[in-house]
A = this chain, B = another copy of it.
Amino acid sequence: MTNPIITLTTDYGNGDHLVGVLKGVILRINPDVHIVDITHDIAPFDLLDAAVTIAEASKYFPPRTIHVVIVDPGVGTERRPLLTRADTNYYIAPDNGVLSLIYDREESLTVRHITTEHYFLQPISQTFHGRDVFAPVAAWLTKNWQPASMGDAITDFKRFNIPKPKQDGYVLKGVILRIDRFGNLMTNFTAADLPEEILKSGKLQLLLNDKEVSRLVANFAQGQPNEPVAVIGSSGFIEVVVNKASASRVLSIGRGTPATLVLG
């Protein structure tokens, strides 16, 4: 009844024809598809950025949504195109680990190597598999809903580990995973990593380079002007933020900066 949904997450940017081509390819195969842009501004070739984005966004989509994720530094090589079924959604992406957080999260998982070339756009280029492989396979899937027709299930797909905090004596060593548009610093600490007394007291000692964050608060507005505070972010990770300002700018902290949590 309802139109099928295909989402797009790429590092193509919005400046040229690439995204338009993906949409055209999909709509020519099935003009009833509802295409939803998640983002096309993944940093070029940044698999971790894409992995976090699709894992966070896909949680909220309805059953049978098809997510196309194209960050593909290995285009033209032997890396395989994959069709993954995880819980109630489908994912179409290159086999380079970009779905690692989906693999980690989902209990029920079928990963297929897409090999049925008659669903591809011919001739297949060596440089634009978004157009020639990923988009058309997504569109055909909305016509037949037969994942098995796309290729056989495999188990040796690539995955990488999101860096996890490591305990080292009295400290927990983590990292700034990501910085958003507001300058909020997302660490790889989750609420579960915090000792109970920090959650109760709201007092902590979190070191970023030579800067210290000493309060865990419920929301941005509880921070004093220019005071960096920690909050439990909407994705479950601890974020360092400054009320109505950019923590990244206030603290001069970039992505990849070590974050050290003093325990006890």
Interface residues of A (CB under 8 A from B): 2-3, 5, 7, 9, 11-21, 23-25, 27-28, 31-32, 34-41, 44-45, 52-54, 56-62, 65, 73-77, 125-128, 131, 178, 180-182, 218-222, 231-235, 239, 244
User: Cβ of B131 and Cβ of A24 under 8 Å apart?
Assistant: no
Min CB distance A17 to B, Å, is 4
Q: Which residues from B are CB-within-8-Å of A65?
A: 24, 27
Q: Which residues from B are CB-within-8-Å of A25?
A: 60
Give complex CA distance A77, B196 in Å.
25
Copies of this chain present: 3
Known contacts A27-B5, A76-B218, A219-B77: A35-B36 contact under CB 8 Å: yes
Min CB distance A59 to B, Å, is 7
Q: Out of B35, B41, B178, which one reaches A14, CB within 8 Å?
A: B41
Q: Which residues from B are CB-within-8-Å of A61?
A: 23-24, 27-28
User: Cβ of A62 and Cβ of B16 under 8 Å apart?
Assistant: no
Give complex CA distance A37, B14 in Å.
9
Known contacts A219-B75, A234-B128: A15-B41 contact under CB 8 Å: yes
User: Cβ of A36 and Cβ of B44 under 8 Å apart?
Assistant: no
Q: Out of B18, B31, B32, B219, which one reaches A76, CB within 8 Å?
A: B219
Give complex CA distance A149, B178 in Å.
39
Min CB distance A162 to B, Å, is 15
